[in-house]
Structures are given as structure tokens and as C-alpha cells.
Amino acid sequence: MPAPVITPHLTREDSRATYAPGTEFAMDIITMIGNTGTYLDSPFHRYADGPDLAGLDLATLVGLRAEVFHLADAWSAERRGIRPETLADRDVRGAAVLLHTGWDRHFGTPAYGRGAPFLTGEGAQWLIDAGAVLVGIDAVNIDDTAADAGGERPAHTLLLGAGVHVVEHLRNLGALPPTGARFTAAPPAIEGFGTSPVRAFAELP
């Protein structure tokens, strides 16, 4: 993915010619792909007829009950996929399900993009059936992006097809309790756009 490019549109120095003495502004331009940093996928990201960023209900993005699954010991290099049995002991209806794998420790290094844990299609279907409204992960992708995975994206396909939002590249989920927090990840309301960076945060009781 291309890195974001930030350039000035109006510098503070140049703005002084326009405004009263002592008044100055900075205006900048950001050029970036929607999949930058911690970002949210709307159904439109995967499906042409799915709701875009402007079509999302804020009630499914703001102040959600967070169910955090601490899974750092639940997967391995040989078994990277997160399966339903790992998730089946919790009530997730109406919740943001946050998958803490510990992979964010590699963020910003070459290791981050290789061998990451992911949610299996079976795990995604279990979360849909259980009524989750958002699923987030602290890894490079919620699907397996390895070269030998064949380009399939079952977690995206199932979750977004069911109207369940996806948030990727989360960090610091290890600081959250399993239950009790409230999670927010609201993107700008842009029509015809499927993915956007978000300021994802949790409120603790």
C-alpha cells in the first residue's frame, strides 16, 4: 500500500499576506489510500451494492460494548487461524468483538506483514450468527494474506456481506479488560467510499 503524502496548501508564512497582522493559518493536503493506519471497512469495500461510509449507522460504530478476546496463546505459527471454539464462551450480540492476538508488537517492522494470525471463515460465521456488529483485530488483516492462501478473503466476504464492520491494524488491545469497555471507530461519512482511517478508542468503566 502507498504511504500517505502530506503537503502544505497554505503555509503560515504565506497566510500572513491574506489575514490581519498577528493572524495566520496552516492548511494542508493529505493524499492517501483509505487503507491507511487503523482503518474501518464498510460493506461497500467488498460489495458494490453494500452501504458505503456515508451509509453506516452511527449506532454500530460509537460506544459499542466491547468484548475483547485475549488470544495471544490461542494460535501458533502452525495454526494461525482463529476458530469458533476460541470465541464460543461469550455473549457478543450487539458488541464490538476485538481480537487481541499480540501481533501489534511487530507494527512498523517487516515482520508485521508476514505470518500474522487471522480470523477463519468459520470464526467469522460464528460471530455473525452470534450477533456481533463489528470485528476488529490487531494484525495486518482479518483474513489470511499469505501467498499460498489463494487470494480468498472469507472473513471479509462473510462479515461485510452480513453488514458487520471490520477494523484492522488495532493496537494496545492488551490494555483492555475482556468485558466492560466501550469501543468507538467512526469514519468520515464519504459517499462512494468503502474504507477509511479511524481514530479507534475504548472507554473504560
**Tens digits of per-residue pLDDT, 93-146?**
999 999 999 999 999 999 999 999 999 999 999 999 999 999 999 999 999 998
Per-residue model confidence (pLDDT) at position 76: 87
* Higher-scoring residue by pLDDT: 168, 75: 168
Q: Write out the three cell numbers for 64.
A: 459499542
> Residue 58 — pLDDT band, cuts 50, 70, 90?
very high
Per-residue model confidence (pLDDT) at position 1: 85
Per-residue model confidence (pLDDT) at position 130: 98
> Residue 86 — pLDDT band, cuts 50, 70, 90?
very high
Contact between 117 and 82 (Cβ < 8 Å): yes
pLDDT, averaged across the chain: 96
The tally of CA atoms less than 13 A away on the side-chain side of residue 46 is: 20
Of 199, 80, 189, nearest in space to 142 by CA:
80
Quick one: CA dihedral 166, 167, 169, 175, positive or negative? negative
Per-residue model confidence (pLDDT) at position 121: 97
Per-residue model confidence (pLDDT) at position 192: 97
Q: What are the CA-CA distances from residue 88 to residues 41, 91, 98, 140 (Å)?
A: 24, 8, 14, 24
**Tens digits of per-residue pLDDT, 162-171?**
999 999 999 9
* Interatomic CA distance for residues 194 and 160, integer angstroms: 11
pTM above threshold 0.75: yes
**Tens digits of per-residue pLDDT, 132-150?**
999 999 999 999 998 888 8
Lowest pLDDT segment from 25-34, 75-84, 187-196: 75-84
